[in-house]
Chain A
Amino acid sequence: MTENETGPSEDLIETASESLERPRKQGGLSDTKIRRYTRVYVVLPIVFLLVTLFGGMRFAAADHSFLFLPPPLICLIFGAVTIFLIFRARLIDFESWFDERHPILENAANAGVILVIFAASVQVYNLLLPESGLANWVVTALFVWTLWNDIFADFDQKKLLRSFAGLFAIAFVTKYLVLSNLAVKNDASWLQRILENPGKEAATWFLDLPVYSPATGYLQFFTILLFLFGLFLTPRTANTKKLSS
């Protein structure tokens, strides 16, 4: 093949590829897809994995060392109910995320995202429930009551997000502001603590409250915000075909 013959065909290819690129750039469909895929398949898993990591993390009061508390069984149940509510309120459209017409890889990736949402919601309940004692029983009972009512309530996406935000806010205030202020730091002797602050010492003993470093509250506050931000970012439909239609 001579240079004269190849030259025009290459020009044609370039022109054709430019004409194909132009609508992509002008319409922004491809860029939108890339941004959406980045959000769903990269940003969301990272956000929810961070929530999963930090949800059980506490700082010891004595030396600020890390403590990683695995979630109790009840948190798994709460997490499952949360996922059920997310599907029921159509915050996530199940038919769009899992479809037999999709490639297996896409279904697997979507299942991975749902898995991290479940793990993160389990850890959010882990961080909100008091670890032991009477307070644990009371807050668990309140969560059961609220989630049981939510199952039968008529939700849409916004109402569900508001409901979660309200539930988490009140539980956070209860645990990290009210109950943590009732717990006595263990830097004084038992007798000294009783003499100086008998009310707090009695509350610590009666409620069986563990004492953590104040940094725990800050970390858990941002963990809850991150979880709600992750839910806010979660699209109802997973693929862009339904989005564009």
Chain B
Amino acid sequence: MLVFRRGNYTTMRTSYFHIACLLIVAIGMTLIVFIYSTQPKTFTEIATKSSVAIGTYEVNRSEFENGIAAFRRDEFEAARAAFDRADPEKRDAATQFYVAYSFYRQGWGRVSNDNGLFTKGLSAAERVLQLDPNYRSADPQLVMRTPIELKAELEDGLKITPSDFNPLKITRERK
């Protein structure tokens, strides 16, 4: 009886080692494939990308609020820096919508628009559409509330049309 129990004990221990080996290999290989596919540049990025992978990624609320405050003061570069800190993985539709909007407001001109900033704004607006096609901002201070409106406005700003030569254009207002 005792021998049998001891035999069982030994077998269990051996299989524990085999299971541990398989777990180490599976977890290790998964981690390595994850790291090589996501290409993190720092330890902070490893942590952020890991949180994205396991679904615990969250926007930094205080940085987001700082970004909103800077956006309302028309300090768009500071706003975008805060939004980047708030959402380093660019996975939050609301944050990316404000990023796109900041490019629009900074690039908007009564006579002509800044094409470089509008192009960046357009790619940010497209990112919002990819993240959440039905996104709608609840901010009452924004004239354009959806990424589709913002994208259309940015695309319109990048095109050269006969209406661009209309002198009454200087009376239009920034949205």
Contact = CB atoms under 8 A, between A and B. Distances in A.
Interface in B52-79: none
B36 A45 contact: no
Task: Determine the main DSSP class of B at the interface with A.
Answer: helix
B39 A68 contact: yes
Contacts of B36: 56, 68, 70
Interface string A24-53: 000000100110011011100110010011
A46 B32 contact: no
Interface of A: 13, 16-17, 20, 30, 33-34, 37-38, 40-42, 45-46, 49, 52-53, 56, 60, 65-68, 70, 103, 105-106, 108-109, 112-113, 115-116, 119
A60 B40 CA distance: 12
Most buried by A among B13, B21, B36, B39: B21
Contacts of A40: 17, 21
B159 interface: no
Residue of A38, A108, A112 with highest tally of chain B CB at under 10 A: A112
B143 interface: no
A68 B35 contact: yes
B21 A65 contact: no
Interface of A is mostly: helix
A53 B18 contact: no
A41 B20 contact: yes
Interface stretch (B23-31, B87-95, B146-154): B23-31
The residue in A42, A49, A113 that gathers the most chain B C-beta atoms within 10 A of its C-beta is A49
A30 B19 contact: no
B22 A109 contact: yes
15 contacts: A30-B10, A34-B13, A37-B13, A37-B14, A37-B17, A41-B21, A42-B20, A49-B24, A49-B28, A52-B32, A53-B28, A56-B36, A68-B39, A106-B18, A115-B25
Sorting the interface of chain B by its residue count into under 10, 10 to 19, 20 to 34 or 35 or more gives 20 to 34
Contacts, number: 86
B22 A46 contact: no
A112 B21 contact: yes
Contacts of B31: 53
Contacts of A16: 2
Given A42-B20, A68-B35, A20 B28 contact: no
B14 A45 contact: no
Contacts of B15: 103, 105
B104 to A, nearest CB: 31
Contacts of A66: 40-42
Contacts of A53: 28, 31-32, 35
B6 A20 contact: yes
B21 A42 contact: yes
